Amino acid sequence: MKKTALITGAAGGIGGQFARIHASKGGDIVAVDLNAEGLESLKTTLESEYDVLVYTIAKDLTDVNAAKEIYDELKSKDVEVDYLINNAGFGGIGNFHERSWEQDLAMIQVDVVALTGLTKFFLPDFIKRNEGKILNVSSTVSLIPGPGQAVYFASKAYVTSLTRSIYGELSDSEVTITALLPGPTQTGFGAHSGMEKTSIYNKTASAADVAQDGYDAMLEGELEIISGVSGMQKLEFKLVPFVPKKKLIEKIRKGQETK
């Protein structure tokens, strides 16, 4: 049976790869992004290559009402969503006290509020039907402190924690929720956030590979998956709770310094 996936940040990067993966399986797509031109390009490409429908919604997720407006629009058009992929997000380099309130508020609105809102509105429908899947794109940085990117690291920690908590609440349901924790990935994110100038971005993973890992984990109903990092790095993340916090913070601070 054909499934419809709502994907935020769908016009490029990991989101665009999610759209292509889902379309290749014959699924329809609700593509959400601020980039209206990019959405139309995605729609033209996927509808010409695959036998699918791509419904586009150009929306600024920094608007506190965006999630409700998306939900209401789809309800009014009788579009039923089967998979919710909360992919949209952005970061930014700079000490907390030096970044503007407007910059960090916009980040919180997209990375936290929009993701939470879409999950809040669509999850009850999934539970009512006793089917549906949610994939929240978090980050490996959700597992560590982030001097130099305090709000971004904290926002992703929220996403991982929220996903884990809701996962526990869904234990008696056929509905699943999964967190994808990518490492540095080849997208426009690095340039937009300034992270590509740091040593953390010395080696990046393929957006297509990361999206495939996340999509597969979502279908399997896994709690979370770390993607785009080496086996040694995965081990290091598992050992984070045992590393002295001050030593860890200093190591990350140095890694955030621009080249």
How do residues 2-24 score in pLDDT, each as one tens digit?
A: 999 999 999 999 999 999 999 99
What pTM does this model have? 0.89
**Confidence label for 196 from pLDDT (cuts 50, 70 and 90):** low
Q: Are 188 and 13 in contact (CB under 8 A)?
A: yes
Question: How many Å separate Cα 166 from the centre of its chain?
Answer: 16
Look at the alpha carbons of 254, 156, 220, 171 in this order and tell me if their dihedral is positive or negative.
positive
What CA–CA distance (Å, rounded) separates 117 from 62? Answer: 12
The SS3 call for residue 144 is coil
* For residue 195, pLDDT beyond 60: no
* For residue 250, pLDDT beyond 90: no
pLDDT in tens, 79-112: 999 999 999 999 999 999 999 999 999 999 999 9
> How high is the pLDDT of residue 199?
53
> How high is the pLDDT of residue 105?
98
Task: Put the strands of the sheet holding 83-86 in their side by side order.
Answer: 54-58, 28-33, 4-8, 83-86, 133-137, 176-182, 224-227
What are the backbone angles phi and psi of residue 31, rounded to the nearest 5°? -100, 120
* For residue 57, pLDDT beyond 70: yes
> How high is the pLDDT of residue 233?
82
Beta bridge partners of 149: none
* For residue 223, pLDDT beyond 70: yes
> Per this entry, what is the length of the chain?
259
Look at the alpha carbons of 254, 182, 19, 68 in this order and tell me if their dihedral is positive or negative.
negative
Return the minimum-mean-pLDDT range out of 51-65, 72-86, 141-155, 241-255.
241-255
**Confidence label for 189 from pLDDT (cuts 50, 70 and 90):** low
Mean pLDDT of the chain: 91
How do beta strands 83-86 and 133-137 pair? parallel
* For residue 245, pLDDT beyond 80: no
> How high is the pLDDT of residue 53?
98
Could you tell me what percent of the chain has a pLDDT over 90?
Answer: 79
Counting Cα atoms < 13 Å in the Cβ hemisphere of 249 gives 6
- pLDDT higher for 26 or 197? 26
> How high is the pLDDT of residue 241?
77
> How high is the pLDDT of residue 231?
80
Domains detected in the chain: 4-255 (3.40.50.720)
- pLDDT higher for 76 or 250? 76
What CA–CA distance (Å, rounded) separates 160 from 223? Answer: 10
Residue 191, sorted as left (phi over 0), alpha (psi -120 to 50) or beta, turns out to be alpha
Q: Are 146 and 152 in contact (CB under 8 A)?
A: yes
How much is the average pLDDT of 141-153? 95
Q: Which helix (H) or strand (E) holds 218?
A: helix 207-220
What are the backbone angles phi and psi of residue 6, rounded to the nearest 5°? -90, 125
* For residue 191, pLDDT beyond 60: no
Q: Are 122 and 84 in contact (CB under 8 A)?
A: yes
Q: Could you report how far apart the first and last alpha carbons of the chain are, in Å?
A: 50
Query: Which residue's entry shows tokens 């490492």?
Result: 183
